[in-house]
Amino acid sequence: MSSSEPLQKPLRIPPWLRIKLPSNENFTNTSELIGDLHLNTVCQSAKCPNKWECFSKNVATFLIMGAICTRNCAFCNIASGDMEPLDPTEPARVAEAARRLQLKHVVITSVTRDDLPDGGSAHFAACIRAVREAMPECTVEVLIPDFQGDEPALGAVLDARPNVLNHNLETVPVLYAAIRPQADYRQSLTLLENAKRMRPDIPTKSGIMVGLGETDEQIMTVLDDLAAIDCDIVTIGQYMQPSRQHPMVKRYVEPEVFEMYAEEGKKRGIRHMFSAPLVRSSYNAADFV
């Protein structure tokens, strides 16, 4: 028997994170529609705990540019591997899904495509324009990768005039090496700062997960950084281990502590704070537009 320290046992999931799984006609219809149009959603690919609720409300977050990522972030359930060419029909299919679901607010995110010269920014722009053409009254939020800090790529997305530009910091700086080894905290912060500078009329948004080993003091530093660049909307939610191959949850943060995070963000001048255990970046996103 090994003399090394015993393996840490998983923490018990607390009552406030136990989810009822509704399954109604809307849930079935949304699932079938996504399958019929051969679309990916982050709800399914990332095993989001809110999938049941959102699908039951005819809501989904579209995942464009394939279901394979060029990066391998430790927290994420999306697979990495060989990339496929972009599908030029995808923007029209996203727009058609939004039309059939009668969405008032569309959220579009993507895998990271470091293999593409523009990181997929032109494809993002095409999706925004397709949704606008199909549904002129619909608002559009994009959750973009970092485009490796490329300003023209960011500009291409902003030129398509999304209603919200989102890029998640995901975690505190000290955990990047372990959790986001192919990303850079300062680069992500600069992207949000550049977006605000280039298009001050487009709200910027970011979010982090907690429970990965960060401290509350480190979370306050992230809030300081986001307030300093005039980020308009910040989300904070509980990290949930998507599989046994992913990092274990280091702590389950109590609901009242999430309320404290929200209060601290507002004290720093962040206009909209959405902080609760089951909050995810696109969860109830329409509430902020």
Pick out the residues of the known binding site for [4Fe-4S] cluster: 43, 48, 54, 69, 73, 76, 282
Q: Three-state DSSP class for 255?
A: helix
Strands 164-166 and 139-143, bridge-based pairing:
parallel
Binding-site annotation, residues: 43, 48, 54, 69, 73, 76, 282
Give the number of other Cβ atoms within 10 Å of residue 143's Cβ. Answer: 24
Residues in the chain: 289
Dist CA 104 CA 100 (whole Å): 11
DSSP string covering 153-199: HHHHHHHT--SEEE---BS-GGGHHHH-TT--HHHHHHHHHHHHHH-
Determine how β-strand 61-64 pairs with β-strand 40-41.
antiparallel
What is residue 218's three-state secondary structure? helix
> For residue 217, what are the contacts with CB-CB under 8 A and spacing of at least 6?
none
Contacts 24+ apart (CB under 8 A), 16-20: 16/254, 16/255, 16/277, 17/49, 17/238, 17/240, 17/252, 17/277, 17/278, 19/49, 19/50, 19/52, 19/53, 19/278, 20/52
CA distance 162 to 104: 14
Tokens of 55: 């699908």
Residue matched to tokens 């800090």: 149
Region class of 10: left (phi > 0), else alpha (psi between -120 and 50), else beta: beta
